[in-house]
């Protein structure tokens, strides 16, 4: 059965992540308006670029130590990118204009949270969720973030820095009332190799 | 008479010149980047704005992506101002001007 580009996790606004990755490889040349002017594709491209930057160091370390790459880790993050690039719910912004209705999409905010991860060396954001009624002004919400870190990075420090970076971005760009930013570090890369070395 | 599509193009040009702002196609809600229509006509094909309609309130929706260096609420105000100016030049009034930020990069 042919997957439905509108609903399949593999597709971002009708494009696969492979297609978007190839587009990045070509330096976005020739320009493709269907990608360049798609909000979802822009969110996904930004996430792919961030992932490439961090994974270059992570993968080179992993290949050097294990001789292979943890493809499950990459697959999980890529799956999160395609799923979370979608616009999602509309989040209201305060408007000083009588006829102005200002909104920011949930997908844009998730992209913002991912970009906050850039401020933290050696950490990659996997999945992020906004829990609570983001469509209701003033309603408290919780930001849930799954992350993985590179071997040697202090997890508590990295989590603190990520939490502060996310809070800054959300405060600057939205009117969301954040009750908590929960960060779960679920993987440390090359840990298995290090443990194996100790045996 | 002015075509609604002409006003949409004019708004697109104005908004695209704002610093850090890019007009985007939304993925899930609208088929065009900018929609100027009477509230009752949203979703219908672009058409001419008649003189009798020009004084009626119009609904405008603009979907943009913005540069991370610019705070989203500030961008909304700038885009709103640009849209208001375009409508004023076309002698149109708005019931709502919806600015939707769909991407921050």
Please name the residue of chain A whose CA is at the shortest distance from the CA of residue B94.
Answer: A99
- What does the alpha-carbon distance between residue A190 and residue A168 come to, in Å, rounded to a whole number? 31
CB distance A56 to A64 below 8 Å = no
CB distance A188 to A151 below 8 Å = yes
Closest CA to A51 of A128, A112, A146, A115: A115
Would the pLDDT of A32 be above 70?
yes
| Cα-based distances in Å from A57 to A26, A46, A141, B23 | 21, 18, 34, 34
Interface test with B, best of A15, A97, A111 (most B CBs within 10 A): A97
CB distance A61 to A127 below 8 Å = no
Looking at residue A5, what is its pLDDT? 39
Q: Tokens in use for A2?
A: 């042919």
Average pLDDT on A173-185 reads: 95
Taken in order A31, B43, A100, B84, is the CA torsion positive or negative? positive
Residues in B 28-87 with any Cβ partner in A closer than 8 A: 28-29, 33, 63, 65, 68, 71-73, 76-77, 80, 84
Interface predicted TM-score (ipTM): 0.85
Q: Tokens in use for A161?
A: 């820095």
3-class SS letters over B2-61:
EEHHHHHHHHHHHHHCCCCEEECECCCCCCCCEEEECHHHCCCCCCEECCCCCCCEEEEE
Average pLDDT on B23-40 reads: 62
Q: Cis (ω within 30 of 0) for the bond into B93?
A: no
Looking at residue A65, what is its pLDDT? 57
Chain-chain contact of A99 with B101 (C-beta, under 8 angstroms): no
Of A89-98, A110-119, A152-161, B1-10, minimum mean pLDDT range: B1-10
Tell me what the pLDDT averaged over chain A comes to: 79
- What does the alpha-carbon distance between residue A106 and residue A40 come to, in Å, rounded to a whole number? 11
Terminus-to-terminus CA distance in chain B, angstroms? 39
What are the backbone dihedrals phi and psi of residue B34, each rounded to the nearest 5 degrees, phi first? -130, 130
pLDDT in tens, A44-73: 888 788 777 666 655 555 555 555 556 666
Adjacent-strand bridge partners of A72: none
Q: Which residue has the tokens 């298995």?
A: A192
Per-range mean pLDDT, top range of A7-11, A21-25, A83-87, B50-54:
A21-25
Among the partner-chain residues B95, B97, B103, the one whose CB lies closest to the CB of A42 is B103
Report the gap between the CA of B103 and the closest CA in chain A (Å). 5
What percent of chain A clears pLDDT 70, i.e. is strictly above it? 73
Tell which wins on pLDDT, A91 or A55.
Answer: A91
What are the backbone dihedrals phi and psi of residue B101, each rounded to the nearest 5 degrees, phi first? -90, 115
Please name the residue of chain A whose CA is at the shortest distance from the CA of residue B24.
Answer: A37
Report the gap between the CA of B1 and the closest CA in chain A (Å). 24
Chain-chain contact of B80 with A87 (C-beta, under 8 angstroms): no
Q: Tokens in use for B77?
A: 């105000």
pLDDT in tens, A155-178: 999 999 999 999 999 999 999 999
Alpha-carbon torsion angle A16, A21, A22, A28, nearest 10 = 110
């Amino acid at each position: 059965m042919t997957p439905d580009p509108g609903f399949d996790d593999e597709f971002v606004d009708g494009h696969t992540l492979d297609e978007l990755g190839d587009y990045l490889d070509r330096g976005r040349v020739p320009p493709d308006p269907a990608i360049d002017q798609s909000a979802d594709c822009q969110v996904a491209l930004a996430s792919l670029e961030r992932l490439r930057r961090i994974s270059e160091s992570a993968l080179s370390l992993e290949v050097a130590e294990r001789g292979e790459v943890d493809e499950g880790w990459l697959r999980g993050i890529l799956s999160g990118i395609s799923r979370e690039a979608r616009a999602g719910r509309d989040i209201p912004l305060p408007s000083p204009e009588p006829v102005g209705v200002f909104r920011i999409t949930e997908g844009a905010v998730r992209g913002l949270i991912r970009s906050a991860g850039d401020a933290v060396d050696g950490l990659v954001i996997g999945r992020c969720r906004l829990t609570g009624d983001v469509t209701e002004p003033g309603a408290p919400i919780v930001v849930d973030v799954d992350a993985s870190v590179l071997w040697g990075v202090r997890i508590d420090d990295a989590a603190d820095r990520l939490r502060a970076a996310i809070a800054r971005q959300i405060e600057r760009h939205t009117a969301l009332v954040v009750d908590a930013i929960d960060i779960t570090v679920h993987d440390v890369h090359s840990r298995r190799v290090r443990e194996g070395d100790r045996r | 008479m002015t075509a609604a599509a002409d006003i949409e193009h004019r708004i697109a040009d104005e908004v695209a010149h704002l610093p850090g702002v890019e007009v985007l196609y939304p993925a899930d809600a609208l088929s065009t980047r900018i929609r100027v229509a009477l509230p009752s006509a949203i979703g219908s094909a672009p058409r001419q704005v008649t003189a009798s309609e020009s004084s009626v309130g119009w609904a405008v929706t603009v979907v943009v992506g913005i540069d991370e260096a610019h705070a989203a609420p500030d961008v909304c105000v700038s885009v709103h101002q640009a849209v208001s100016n375009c409508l004023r030049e076309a002698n149109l009034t708005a019931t709502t001007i919806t600015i939707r930020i769909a991407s921050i990069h």
